[in-house]
Structure 1
Amino acid sequence: MKVSSRSFTLGLVTAWYSSNIGVLLLNKYLLSNYGFRYPIFLTLCHMLACSLFSYIAINWFKLAPLQTLRSRLQFLKISALSLIFCLSVVAGNVSLRYLPVSFTQAVGATTPFFTALFACFMTSKKESWLTYLTLVPVVTGVIIATGGEPSFHLFGFIMCVGATAARALKSVLQGILLSSEAEKLNSMNLLMYMAPVAVIFLLVAALVMEENVVGITIALARDDVKILWYLIFNSALAYFVNLTNFLVTKHTSALTLQVLGNAKGAVAVVISILIFRNPVSVIGMLGYILTVIGVVLYSEAKKRSR
């Protein structure tokens, strides 16, 4: 039984790694290499898939117990989270048009810095001095990586930092807005309620900012039908990231997920460099390594302070 359980957990972790890195690399390929320059529409496809598959997973396959919304206020709170979530994903996808995956992963690793910052200002939650000290190599590493990045692009960098900050803000706000036991939702139910709201936000944004994107996509599909399969597979993979994230947390722990996430960033960097052959400098890699070390130290300091 133990061997079977370990194999199942290993399979989940492998699926989580594969889907995370896969969707990241496919986003980069579509938005940069393939030339599909519509990050809002791409995110809209992701959220449509998440809406459909979340409903099926919870209501048909019972992968998580159904949690119902208790009030209009709770729905408004989820809508606010959904808007911030949309901003983070769209900004992240925009950054992939201009920056290599390796560099976006380095910037994304600074999420703990922004989380600690928002938590301090919004909830007055203070961490131990050791925890704050571990954030120094996190930020220093990104500064070094930025200076040593051959493919640096200012607008892409701003979008990447914005995406990272928005992810941290969502995490802090989720703890504030859904703090009562009655309002707490597991990640699967939260996604099921957030995704349809996100679709509405993204649909309006796509119509305004990416004019005639549906017509352009159809025209592209007539010339190369593979674009449709790319979008369908990419959207399904985006949902699978959330599903495997939930299952890995359920069968291990949130702390294990955090540790695995730190390692995932490094794996994604190596694979992206091998696939896209983007130039990297020794200084840039040293900066990223310093950031990863800082994140690991931050995780340890947080664990000890509990």
Structure 2
Amino acid sequence: MKGNVQRQWFTIGLVASWYTSNIGVLILNKYLLSNYGFRYPIFLTLCHMIACSLFSYIAIVWFKTVPLQTLRSRSQFLKISALSLIFCGSVVSGNVSLRYLPVSFTQAVGATTPFFTAVFAYLMTLKRESWLTYATLVPVVTGVVIASGGEPSFHLFGFLMCLGATAARALKSVLQGILLSSEGEKLNSMNLLLYMAPIAVFVLLPSAIVMEPNVVAITVSLARTDTKIVWYLLLNSAVAYLVNLTNFLVTKHTSALTLQVLGNAKGAVAVVISILIFRNPVSVTGMLGYALTVFGVILYSEAKKKSK
């Protein structure tokens, strides 16, 4: 009995950490890129990937959080490299969108991930879902259309970037299932991050130098006048790794269905917290649109569960 209670509290603590890190990195990204005025999304993503590379190595090689899985072939490395490029595109696009859009709206757009997943799964594997499953995607998309029309801070470029980030996330999940499907190539999410993050660093470093000229010099100069930026970047990068770590642990200690439900609720919590912190204007139409999207995602999860 005591052991069950301890396990329950441990799981609750994991979920709370997952929520805190997910919402925390969103809020910190938004603050840095928009409110603070640090308008360098590629460099910010580079900081995230450096932290993920370092902490993944420490967690797996030093603390042996999970067994180290080694790469078995050049083909496997190339597949992981492709996933890393898509992952980079997703994170950078998401960070760019936060310069122009409130967190509440980006969460609404991000909730359409199941729609893009279904589309890519069909295009790349010809895998068809039941008509009921496809029908549940109608409120998912309709909700975002309604939310877009009712969003006081709507910005077209920001919206396209957010849509691109959502599509890239879905593409990565589908490709991951295809590329790393054989038993010899499967990696758990912690080991996959261990190999993806350094590749992302090599891609993002020249990208930041070319597309965000003098960003390092600007950051150093800014740190001399305001040391808080150093702590913001360090905290932001550490929390970005915690998102991946806690997501893995919550997946390990709960069921897939529980994870889906918690994920839906997390988006709603992020919306409320962001509105309270940033005081961004919201409309009744926008909130109704977001509610419709979340409702559609819940229906989609139920339909997928029944089809299995």
TM-score class, shorter: over 0.9
SS in 2 for 1:244: helix
Q: Equivalent residue for 2:80?
A: 78
Shift of 1:253: 2.2
Task: Quote the Cα distance in structure 2 between the aligned partners of 1:256 and 1:66.
Answer: 27
Q: CA deviation at 1:257?
A: 1.4
CA distance in 1, matches of 2:189, 2:220: 34
1:18-37 matched pairs, under 5 angstroms: 18-37=20-39
Q: 2:236 corresponds to which residue?
A: 234
Q: Which residue number in structure 2 is paired with residue 189 of structure 1?
A: 191
1:268 equivalent in structure 2? 270
Provide the rounded CA distance (Å) in 1 between the counterparts of 2:245 and 2:236: 14
SS in 2 for 1:184: coil
For residues 28-67 of structure 1, the aligned pairs below 5 Å read 28-67=30-69
Alignment-derived partner of residue 200 in structure 1: 202
Is there any run of 5+ residues in structure 2 with no aligned partner, and where?
none
Q: Which amino acid aligns with 1:289?
A: A
CA drift of 1:256 comes to 1.6
SS at match of 1:76: helix
Q: Specify the code of the residue in structure 2 equivalent to 1:199.
A: V
2:281 and 2:124 map into 1 onto residues whose CA distance is: 40
Match of 1:295?
Answer: 297
After superposition, where does 1:161-180 map in structure 2 within 5 Å?
Answer: 161-180=163-182
Any idea what the Cα deviations from partners look like across 1:214-267, whole Å, max 9, x if unmatched? Answer: 000000001100000000000000000000000011111232212111100000
Q: Give CA-to-partner distance per residue, 1:9-41, whole Å, 9 cap, x none.
A: 000000000000000000000000000000000
- Aligned equivalent of 2:212, options 204, 210, 213: 210
**Which ranges of 4 or more aligned residues in structure 1 deviate by more than 2 Å?**
none
Q: Alpha carbon RMSD of aligned pairs, Å?
A: 0.5
Asked if 1:129 is matched to 2:137, the reply is no
Letter in 1 for 2:14: L
- Quote the Cα distance in structure 1 between the aligned partners of 2:261 and 2:81: 30
> Partner residue of 2:253?
251
Distance in structure 1 (CA, Å) of the matches to 2:303 and 2:79: 31
For 2:248, the aligned partner's letter is F
Q: Deviations over 1:34-65 (max 9, x none)?
A: 00000000000000000000011011111111
- Number of residues of Structure 1 aligned to a counterpart in Structure 2: 306
SS at match of 2:81: helix
Query: How many percent of aligned residue pairs carry the same amino acid?
Result: 83
Q: Distance in 2 between matches of 1:268 and 1:39?
A: 20
Match of 1:94 in 2: 96
Q: After TM superposition, give the deviation of residue 204 of structure 1 in Å.
A: 1.1
Partner secondary structure for residue 44 of structure 1? helix
- Counterpart of 1:160 in structure 2 is 162
User: Counterpart of 2:120?
Assistant: 118
The alignment's TM-score, normalised by the length of structure 1, stands at 0.99
Unpaired segments ≥5 residues, structure 1: none
SS of 2:162 mapped into structure 1: helix
Aligned-partner residue type, residue 124 of structure 2: M
1:108-163 CA-partner distances (Å, limit 9, x unpaired): 00000000000001000000000000000000000000000000000000000000
TM-score normalised by length of structure 2: 0.99
Matched residue, 1:105: 107
